[in-house]
Structure 1
């Protein structure tokens, strides 16, 4: 217990009213949505050959890791635990981009590499130029939000079967990002904050994104 709580407390959310493992109960429990989403995706993948969907299994594992890492961060609120929150998210975002470009957009390896590099540069530029605390830290997710919007634009132009599914996911992600951004601004009105809404909505968004790739890979109708 002492080891887990070593270091200064990082009080970053409305819900936290003090130190201790259960200072943010809603923010912790809402991560179950991400873990449940990972299990549901895993059930779908279990019906296919492992080697055919190994990349999707990796993303599913990262989805579960997001839920676990975020839970650890919200339980302890220490700087060391923040790394377990950030890295699974970062790996999932980049991994999903690669999988989508390869499986759905059907780009060659050099096309995937080029667009991944553009995304990295956009992410670096956004984080570098944004002032500290801008959008309550949600600036980290702006490149992913923009990338998903561009994906929807690309799908829509081609009247792709995934368009409606991904457009819905993009809209929900917009609400999710707004909930994350608003958390520190609404403490007086909503003492528990809105960060837990970010967790729950993202569980649905990431589930839909992965299921879309699975359906497309199986060449099933939506």
Structure 2
């Protein structure tokens, strides 16, 4: 039996979720645009890895919304989790200027943070990501990176809209059979692109000598 997790699915067929499946093209488009920008100006492997994971997110999500099996669900969720864990390592390295040996601690710190957020508020996998974006925006503001703080604030707001669209897929199903999950795909593609773009721009600033006073990048 297929995993029937979304409003649009009405049967076991491969194309039972055509809109949900096809809107995964948004992730691939976002990845192509991000890659062209990164390739044109250059970026470290840590940022390129985010582009690769964005492609994997699109492929994994397409697989789940067509095949709809438990193993396909793992392909759907796995790249998203890897993107989160990679970004929380990239952020302290390039935005806060921490050496890699400390930046890697961002991954276990985020896991602990996510567990705490879910313990207090619930919300599953994605609420910690939203709260984390807000925390990043505040940290950047306090460190004087006001433009980047604004970018993360905008991304957090867009992700809040995206998360809302994901959440109401079931409740609106009776009056809107396609559901709203497809809009989650489109909004999330924009969110992930903007996150990659922010990281790339910060890397370009660092390599150009634009930094926070007193911050070193060994």
TM-score range, shorter chain: 0.7 to 0.9
Residue 94 (str. 1) matches residue 85 (str. 2)? yes
TM-score, normalization: structure 1?
0.86
Checking the alignment, whether the CA contact within 8 Å between 2:88 and 2:110 is kept in structure 1 is no
Post-superposition shift, 1:110?
4.8
Provide the TM-score with structure 2 as the length reference.
0.87
Does 2:138 match 1:153? yes
The answer to whether the aligner puts 1:104 opposite 2:100 as a matched pair is no
Alignment correspondent of 1:173: 159
> Matches of 1:211 and 1:153 in 2, distance apart?
19
Task: Tell me how far 1:186 sits from its aligned partner.
Answer: 1.0
Which residue does the alignment assign to 1:192? 178
1:121 — aligned with what? 112
After TM superposition, the structure 1 stretch with the greater mean CA deviation from structure 2, 55-64 or 104-113, is: 104-113
1:84-130 CA-to-partner distances (Å, cap 9, x unmatched) read: 11110010011011111101111234542444322112334556x59
Q: Match of 1:204?
A: 190
- Which stretch shifts more, 157-166 or 110-119? 110-119
Q: SS at the partner of 1:11?
A: coil
Q: Equivalents in 2 of 1:156, 1:38: separation in Å?
A: 28
Unaligned runs of 5+ in 2: 211-218
Q: Any conservation in 2 of the 1:37–1:203 contact (CA below 8 Å)?
A: yes
Q: How far is the alpha carbon of 1:43 from its aligned partner?
A: 0.2
Q: In structure 1, what is the equivalent of residue 11 of structure 2?
A: 18
Report if the CA contact (8 A) 2:92-2:103 is conserved.
yes
Residue in 1 that maps onto 2:2:
9
1:174-198: CA deviation from partner (whole Å, max 9, x where unpaired): 0000111111111112111111111
Check conservation: 2:46, 2:90, Cα contact below 8 A: yes
CA RMSD of the aligned region, Å? Answer: 2.1
**Distance across 1 between alignment mates of 2:83 and 2:193:** 12
How many angstroms does 1:165 deviate by? 1.6
Note if contact 1:155-1:162 (Cα within 8 Å) is conserved in structure 2. yes
Bigger drift between 66-75 and 142-151 goes to 142-151
